Amino acid sequence: MSERMRLLVVALGIVVIAAIIGSALALEKEEEGELGDLKKFGSPDEIREYLKAQAAGSGYRVDYAPAAKEDAVSGSMPLPSPQMEPGVLSRDGAGDYSVTNVQVHGVDEPDFVKNDGRYIYLLSGNTLAIIDAYPAERAVISSETTIRGQPVALFIGRDRLAVFSTAREEVFIQPKSSAVPVPYWRTMTHACVYSIRDRKNPELIRDLSFSGNYYDARLIQDHIYVITSESVPWFADDILLPEVRDGDRPVISPDVYYPDIAEAHYLYHTLSSFSIKNSNAPQAETFLLGYANTVYVSQGNFYIGYRTDIPGGMPPREDCRGQEKTIIHRFGIRGGNIDYKGMGTVPGHLLNQFSLDEYDGHLRVATTVQEWTERGSVRYNNVYVLGEDMETVGELEFLAPDERIYATRFIGERLYMVTFKQIDPLFVIDLSDPENPGVLGELKIPGYSDYLHPYDSDHILGLGKETSENQWGGASVGGLKIALFDISDVHRPTLVDSVEIGEAGTDSEALRDHKAFLFDKRKDLLVVPVFEVQKSAIPDGTYRSYRLKTWQGAYVFGVSPADGFTLRGTVGHGEGDSPHVWWSSNPVRRSLYMDDVLYTISPRSVVMTDLTDIGTRIGEISLPQGAPYPYYRV
């Protein structure tokens, strides 16, 4: 054996031994009640005493769920769980169709509507409606299925469909103070899995339930990861543990872990996984954390972020970096397995899931700091880069003083970030060196963007509001604004074109939910749902020459760097003469396409339009439960 080969064998041996020792130490720590930065509770009594001690030490009241009436009842028998059968969707639909607009490629996000190129699956009230939508001329509702509780979102996977819903349910517990089980009302999240081999008769084949309110979920290949949360439930002086059920049969009572960080409020956050393909046992872990407000998921990690203010306060630092912080937990996810990896902390708070991005083994984070000091209110923005151990390795701080982040989009080694107070600066930030992020350029124009979407490597789309300076020196918000930016020269980004829609009060669901934004560069197609406030002339008006009216529908554009925005047409879903700008009666909430047909979806109906001639309406499908109440807008 050569000397080089001998050294290689020795090196490999050292690596193997180190891995074995590391695994043994990790296992030993888990057995001792530790999991990385987390500790494990040994019993419900430990949770109770911990919460009481935290409440007493911080001066905050610890929230708890109200106790139920202590009536003795008998338990119920578990229902059998049918086995899933493999299958393949028929491919007699459109050759080209849109999918849900997601943040990360390969990580599907839940929505109330999905399609597979022929069928549209959507939630209308408490009904799952399956529409045989292609060809559009013969579109018809194939089936309507009543969903238990309040449906919130769905996924489709091959010939399976999973619907999430929440419900307050009577469960039975065994408190220490009673010799028999007693009823207790608890919020449960159901994941009902259906076989959709026969779309006219969806078959319920599994009903999993998770304690707590539905918060968010992701589908990666065949595995769904779902997070639920609930205030820690107390019954008399007993603490209830989280649970996962398969039918009526409890299958998991997850271990409860916690970081040794004081919080004002504590909730169970249960991260669970299950297969949409088969009936293998689900997995779940529970974590006692603060109020989570952001979930970001890559193909290999699930991140939970939440804002925390140190209980009791602490004096502000001279550099203004004080109390407001965001804690981010990382969980490794592979093939349904859930492994806690670590915790990081950064100053400020997150805007939404687009404030986080994983790239080349690093987590990039954008935050806004809003604090009050002896010198008054302080606001600024930061960018941080965290390593795999969740420790900060790079930072860029104090950007755009007195402004806050309105939109962020990480694309490769760059971050595009919009802040706003009176003018919209679009920042281009270099992240090629994780340890030394820096500003490459910025563009200042009126208005702001709430959502940024990549067009190509040299251009980016923005959706937001137009603004103008008012007589008091502030900014007045106008109509909806769509913009195309040229970022080919990162030091000097420019505005290629912009379009303003409507008067002040005009709105779009895509401002708050990226899944309402439909863009396909290959088809030269941009569709934006719009609730528009319009001016209508009054020829014989005594006091004013116009009145306001509303229009609800979708704007359809072509867009290119050469021509900017080209209006191809609009699809209406309703209009009226009395605008109430705080709510919408029948807004378009989603749009999708199959070949050359555009489907726009509002609470009352699905309208089908010819994409080659937007003025041609092919048909309309009325939805089962219409719009029972107005959709309030923020």
CA atoms within 13 A on the CB side of 151: 25
Q: Angle at Cα 229 formed by Cα 167 and Cα 124, nearest 5°?
A: 40
Helices (H), 105-189: none
Written as six digits, the tokens of 20 are: 């074995």
In-domain check, residue 418: yes
Q: What is the pLDDT of residue 77?
A: 28
Q: What is the CATH number of the domain that holds 352?
A: 2.40.128
In-domain check, residue 300: no
> Please, what are the averages of pLDDT over each run of 10 residues along the chain (634 residues)?
47 41 42 69 91 70 41 30 33 89 98 98 96 97 96 95 95 79 91 98 98 97 96 86 93 92 86 96 94 92 86 40 83 95 95 98 96 81 97 97 95 95 83 98 90 97 87 75 96 96 94 98 97 81 72 97 98 74 78 98 96 96 70 48
Q: What is the pLDDT of residue 471?
A: 56
Q: Residue 7's CB: how many other CB atoms inside 10 A?
A: 10
Q: What is the pLDDT of residue 236?
A: 77
51-90 pLDDT tens trace: 888 877 655 445 444 433 333 322 332 323 333 233 334 4
In-domain check, residue 370: yes
Q: Residue 558's CB: how many other CB atoms inside 10 A?
A: 14
Residues 399 and 467 occupy one common structural domain: no
pTM of the model: 0.87
- Render 167-234 in DSSP notation, one character per residue: EEEEEEE--TT-SS-EEEEEEEEEEEEEE-SSTTS-EEEEEEEEESEEEEEEEETTEEEEEEEEEPBE
d(CA 121, CA 143): 10
Residues 511 and 393 occupy one common structural domain: no
Cα dist from 353 to 42, 252, 302, whole Å: 33, 29, 12
State the total domains in the chain: 2
In-domain check, residue 340: yes
Residues 600 and 545 occupy one common structural domain: yes
Domain hosting 364: range is: 313-445
Residues 555 and 436 occupy one common structural domain: no
In the listed set 445, 466, 487, which residue is the last one of a domain according to the structure? Answer: 445
Sheet holding 294-297, edge to edge: 294-297, 301-308, 325-334, 337-347
In the listed set 445, 463, 483, which residue is the last one of a domain according to the structure? Answer: 445
The DSSP element (H or E) to which 25 belongs, if any, is helix 3-31
In-domain check, residue 393: yes
Written as six digits, the tokens of 19 are: 């891995």
Amino acid at 229: S
Let me know: does 589 contact 627? Beta carbons within 8 Å.
Answer: no
Let me know: does 346 contact 325? Beta carbons within 8 Å.
Answer: yes
Residues 383 and 458 occupy one common structural domain: no
Cα dist from 302 to 35, 59, 349, 410, whole Å: 16, 32, 18, 17
Residues 615 and 559 occupy one common structural domain: yes
Let me know: does 351 contact 336? Beta carbons within 8 Å.
Answer: no
Residues 419 and 525 occupy one common structural domain: no
Q: What is the pLDDT of residue 361?
A: 96
In-domain check, residue 463: yes
Q: Residue 573's CB: how many other CB atoms inside 10 A?
A: 26
- Render 482-510 in DSSP notation, one character per residue: EEEEE-SSTTS-EEEEEEEESSTT-B-GG
Residues 440 and 341 occupy one common structural domain: yes
In the listed set 445, 460, 495, which residue is the last one of a domain according to the structure? Answer: 445
Residues 456 and 568 occupy one common structural domain: yes
Residues 330 and 345 occupy one common structural domain: yes
Residues 438 and 537 occupy one common structural domain: no
Residues 452 and 587 occupy one common structural domain: yes
